[in-house]
Structure 1
Amino acid sequence: MNKIDAISASKLNSHVMIQRTKKGRGVFATRKFAQGETVVVGIKIEEVPERTVYSLQMDFNLHVNLDEPACIINHSCDANTGVRNNQFGGYDFVALCDIEADEEITFDYETTEYESIAVSQCLCDSLDCRGKTLGFQFREQMLCERYKEYIAGYLK
Structure 2
Amino acid sequence: MNTTKSIPPAKLNSNLTIQETAKGRGVFAKKKFAPGETVVVSIQIEAVPERTIYSVQVDFNLHVKLDEPAILTNHSCDPNTGVRNNQFGGYDFVALGNIEAGEEITWDYETTEYESIAVSRCLCKSSSCRGKTLGFKFREQMLRDRYGDYIADYLKTQSK
> Normalized against structure 2, the TM-score is what?
0.93
Residue of structure 2 in register with 1:120 after alignment: 120
What CA distance in whole angstroms lies between the structure 1 residues aligned with 2:127 and 2:76? 10
For the aligned residue pairs, the C-alpha RMSD in angstroms reads 1.3
Aligned to 1:73: 73
Aligned to 2:146: 146
Aligned partner letter, 1:27: V
Offset of 1:8 from its aligned partner?
A: 2.2
CA deviations 1:111-140 (Å, max 9, x no partner) are 000000000000000000000000000000
Three-state SS of the structure 2 residue aligned to 1:28 is: strand
2:103 aligns to what? Answer: 103
Q: Deviations over 1:51-104 (max 9, x none)?
A: 100110000000000000000000000010000000000000000001000000
Deviation at 1:6, TM superposition (A): 9.0
Partners of 1:12 and 1:47 lie apart in 2 by: 22
Alpha-carbon distance in 2 for matches of 1:7, 1:147: 27
Does structure 1 residue 34 correspond to structure 2 residue 34? yes
The amino acid that maps onto 1:152 is A
- SS of alignment partner, residue 101 of structure 2: coil
Whole-angstrom CA distance in 1 between matches of 2:52 and 2:124: 20
- Is 1:87 equivalent to 2:68 in the alignment? no
Amino acid at match of 2:53: V
| 1:16 Cα offset (Å) | 0.4
Stretches of 4+ moved more than 2 A in 1?
4-10
Distance across 2 between alignment mates of 1:6 and 1:89: 16
Cα distance in 1 for residues equivalent to 2:122 and 2:77: 8
* Structure 2 CA distance for aligned equivalents of residues 9 and 89 of structure 1: 13
SS in 2 for 1:51: coil
Q: State the Cα distance separating 1:12 from its structure 2 match.
A: 2.1
Q: How many residues align?
A: 153
Q: Compute the displacement of 1:7 (Å).
A: 5.8
Separation in 2, partners of 1:74, 1:112: 13
> Residues 99, 134 of structure 1: CA spacing in aligned structure 2 closer, same or farther, 3 A cutoff?
same
In the alignment, the residues of structure 2 paired with residue 10 and residue 129 of structure 1 have an alpha-carbon distance, to the nearest angstrom, of: 34
